[in-house]
């Protein structure tokens, strides 16, 4: 199985949030595919933060594209020059005011490698302390709460915890803890 070859690229949009490219690709069998859309976004972090009682820290916010209120994990973009772990610490603190003493990277996934270039760094954070108020900018409105693993499963089933990428991170954190690491 061989990679595709990029024959040309037309950039449809390029700005600080994302870039969209329409590529002309040659497949290993000689077939040309055009346009094939590629979207570049910056890498992301997700934080599964678990307290001493085994409860998970959820954030609740409005998600505009789908027009839904969702329960999610603390998450965000890795800023230029920032390490994934530093971004994870920052997002957890900004969105919930919590800091964690123990951090484990439980996986590195792709957002969607068919369409997107960016990676998703998945962290488990434990030994939590609620240290400070949230530090949100004026485009963010986030409520945080703790929920048991059973409550998270019910929120997935009911459609309240409905972000597929966050379900992936939560499952990796659960499996890491179930494997005797926690």
Closest CA to 123 of 138, 133, 108, 113: 108
| Residue 90 contacts residue 173 (beta carbons within 8 Å) | no
Cβ neighbors of 160 (< 8 A, separation 6 or more) are: 69, 70, 71
- Token duo for residue 141: 């409105």
φ, ψ dihedrals at 50, nearest 5°: -120, 130
2 versus 101: smaller Cβ distance to a copy of itself: 2
Which of 14, 131, 132, 175 contacts a copy of itself by CB under 8 A? Answer: 175
Which of 59, 96, 104, 163 contacts a copy of itself by CB under 8 A? Answer: 163
16 versus 101: smaller Cβ distance to a copy of itself: 16
Angle ∠(98,101,105) on CA atoms, nearest 5: 95
User: What secondary structure, in 3-state letters, does 105-162 show?
Assistant: EEEEEECCCCCECCEEEEEEEEEEEECCCCCCCCCCCCEEEEECHHHHHHHHHHCCCC
55 versus 61: smaller Cβ distance to a copy of itself: 61
76 touches a copy of itself by CB under 8 A: no
According to DSSP, residue 50 is labeled B
Give min distance, CB of 131 to a copy of itself, in A.
Answer: 24
Find the binding residues for a copy of itself in span 97-156 (CB under 8 A): 107-117, 120, 138-139, 141, 143, 153, 156
30 versus 133: smaller Cβ distance to a copy of itself: 30
Give min distance, CB of 26 to a copy of itself, in A.
Answer: 11
Give min distance, CB of 49 to a copy of itself, in A.
Answer: 18
Strand pairing category for 44-49 and 119-130: parallel
Which of 7, 11, 14, 28 contacts a copy of itself by CB under 8 A? Answer: 28
The footprint of a copy of itself (CB under 8 A) covers 1-4, 12-13, 15, 17-18, 20, 23, 25, 27-29, 31, 33, 35-39, 60-70, 107-117, 120, 138-139, 141, 143, 153, 156-157, 159, 162-165, 167-172, 174-175
């Amino acid at each position: 199985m061989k990679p595709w070859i990029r024959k040309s690229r037309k950039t449809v949009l390029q700005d600080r949030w994302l870039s969209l490219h329409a590529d002309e690709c040659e497949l290993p069998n000689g077939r040309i595919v055009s346009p094939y859309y590629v979207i570049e976004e910056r890498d992301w972090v997700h934080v599964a933060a678990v307290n001493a009682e085994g409860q998970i820290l959820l954030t609740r916010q409005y998600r505009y594209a789908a027009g839904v209120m969702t329960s999610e994990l603390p998450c965000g973009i890795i800023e230029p020059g920032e390490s994934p772990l530093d971004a994870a610490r920052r997002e957890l603190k900004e969105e919930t005011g919590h800091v964690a003493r123990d951090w484990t990277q439980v996986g590195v996934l792709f957002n969607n490698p068919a369409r997107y270039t960016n990676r998703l760094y998945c962290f488990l954070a434990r030994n939590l302390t609620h240290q400070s108020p949230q530090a949100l900018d004026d485009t963010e409105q986030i409520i945080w709460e703790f929920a048991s693993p059973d409550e998270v499963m019910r929120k997935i089933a009911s459609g309240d915890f409905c972000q597929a990428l966050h379900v992936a991170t939560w499952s990796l954190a659960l499996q890491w803890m179930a494997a005797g690491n926690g």
